[in-house]
Amino acid sequence: MSVPYDVWRQYLVPQHGLSRFAGLLANSKRPKLKNHLIRYFLSRYHVDMSEAQIEDPYAYKSFNDFFTRKLKEDARPISENPQHLISPADSTLYQFGRIEEDTLLRAKNHAYVLSSLLGRKDDLSQTFSNGHYYCFYLAPYNYHRVHMPCTGNLLKMRYIPGRLFSVNQSTAEHVEHIFARNERVVAFFEGECGKFVVILVGAMLVGNIHTSWMGKVAPGNDGQMKEVDYKPNAVKIARGQEVGHFAMGSTAIVLFEKHIKSLETLKNNQSILMGESIATF
């Protein structure tokens, strides 16, 4: 199977250096530069600014502020059924299904091992064996904040360093184990729906991953995985509240235990909005 040009060239470019440079441009507060970037983005992606809390695109201090803009409170209605799990983001539901023992996310000729996606094999990772997974791809034109699919208390956060391949569908199908190779933040929760995980996967040109409880999650100088345990009830986030956001487009993966049930109307590669139902528990 031939690899598309836009995929194999990602092996050649300095992924982290290019992403840091893009981050500097995106965070620039120089009016001419940030307005030029915003103007180009609007012309290419036709963003509906009527949904944003600040409707004037040029009122934002930087391109990143515009890109991670917040929406009006009524822009994304949350499912009123308390036993419904909701989509955490405006996105394409790239793939969902059962975790078969410890295998999930099958793409072309490869599949993911649960422990590699979560960074290590431990009691928490074993909890999700035979559970369910949902993979959401946030395209550049999507709203870029990720929200809670279920009310929960934060148990642990794990930062895992890695590569920064693009996470569009073509790259995901041709770069083996891309989500387990890219930089990511793994947040373990426990709530009314049981234990669940929200994974924020970094990608090419993603300057930073931010969480609602820590802000910018910065890698350590040693480039090693780092982990933070949280006291019971120290961080509780309600269903529909923000988990974090990407400085550019990327992917969010959510894992649940085995006692939930996906809605029968759900399909792979369907467009979905934050707050829409995906499963029941």
Domain spans of the chain? 5-67, 84-280
Predicted pLDDT at 222: 59
Whole-model pTM above 0.85?
Answer: yes
pLDDT (mean) for 183-199 = 94
Q: How confident is the model at residue 61 (pLDDT cuts 50, 70, 90)?
A: very high
Q: pLDDT of 124-152, one tens digit each?
A: 778 998 999 999 999 888 999 999 999 99
Q: How confident is the model at residue 181 (pLDDT cuts 50, 70, 90)?
A: confident
d(CA 42, CA 45): 5
147, 174, 210, 245: the catalytic one is: 147
Active site residue 147: yes
pLDDT (mean) for 89-104 = 91
CB 113 within 8 A of CB 103: yes
pLDDT (mean) for 266-275 = 96
The overall average pLDDT reported for the chain is 85
pLDDT (mean) for 189-213 = 85
Predicted pLDDT at 46: 87
84, 87, 90, 144: the catalytic one is: 90
Listed residue (147, 135, 153, 132) closest to 255, CA to CA? 132
Contacts of 83 (CB under 8 A, 6+ apart): 280, 281
Q: Which two tokens stand for residue 257?
A: 């235990």
Q: 93-97, 106-110, 234-238, 261-265 — which is least confidently predicted?
A: 106-110
Q: 25-39, 102-116, 135-149 — which is least confidently predicted?
A: 102-116
Q: What does DSSP assign to residue 119?
A: S
CB 119 within 8 A of CB 246: no
Contacts of 35 (CB under 8 A, 6+ apart): 58
- Asked if the model's pLDDT at residue 92 lies above 90, the reply is yes
Active site residue 262: no
The torsion angle over the Cα atoms of residues 88, 269, 131 and 127, rounded to 10 degrees, is -50
Listed residue (255, 146, 266, 166) closest to 209, CA to CA? 146
Active site residue 43: no
87, 166, 212, 250: the catalytic one is: 250
pLDDT (mean) for 223-234 = 87
Predicted pLDDT at 8: 46
Predicted pLDDT at 53: 97
